[in-house]
Amino acid sequence: MNITWDEESYENNFSFVHHYGQEVLELLDVPSPARVLDLGCGNGALAQALHERGYEVVGLDDSAEMLVAAKEAFPHLSFVQGNALDLAFEEPFDAVFSNAVLHWIDEEDQPQLIRSVARSIKSGGQFVFECGGYGNARLIHGALAKSFAVRGFNYQVPQYFPTIGQYASLLEMSGFKVVFARLFDRFTPLRGDDGVADWIRTFQQKAFEGMSEAECEEIIREVADVTKPELYVDGTWYADYVRLRMKAIKVDE
């Protein structure tokens, strides 16, 4: 996961991430009080929502900046810094919940990620998550690829956006049974006059590594202009999101 988070900017411009995460919580139906790990908890908003449902929550994130904000906002909750690829808790959880995180893990590391999650869940426990799915932000990524190419650069999408079949196979190989899976479009409103430009600056940092600031801004502005006819509607910018929402049960060993 190679990205630096500005928590204040994230909350001001992209709070929709945890707002939409409230919908994912509805898939989690382990009886409370149960121990739940919020994997990639960010600023702690969804960990608090889990707490309000009666769960004993531990929030884990690898961003020190986000965890500072989480601990300040929700001092009654437990937050730890850690790597999702190497979870090391003494006691397994009844469920692991994750929202808008798994696509940040490189494709080659996904099997290790799921094995790590599997080790952290009790037999019969639930893994409930939503992440970017196949085709996510296709218009934006396509425009970025073209702008990179005309300047002699090769654009690589920094995230992993799987199909249902791809991710179901990974889950099954690590001892999970998939009980719910949905891949769906979600045309998502962005805040501010620079919605798409700010989205690129926040979420696509890795793709611009090695470029000058001037080159980055030129490309970002060009992409905003190119995508505006489809992504700027009635005075609001949108991201052409596709989301993958799944629930899997760890099979008894």
Domains of the chain: 7-250 (3.40.50.150)
State CA 215 to chain mean position distance.
Answer: 27
What's the confidence (pLDDT) of residue 5? 45
Residue 20: band (very low, low, confident or very high) from pLDDT cuts 50, 70, 90 = confident
Tell me the average pLDDT of the chain.
93
Kindly tell me if the per-residue pLDDT of 181 is higher than 90. yes
Read off the pLDDT of residues 100-158 as tens digits, 9 standing for 90 and up: 999 999 999 999 999 999 999 999 999 999 999 999 999 999 999 999 999 999 999 99
Residue 21: band (very low, low, confident or very high) from pLDDT cuts 50, 70, 90 = confident
Residue with tokens 């030129």: 218
CA distance 172 to 52: 31
CA distance 237 to 242: 16
Amino acid symbol at 30: V
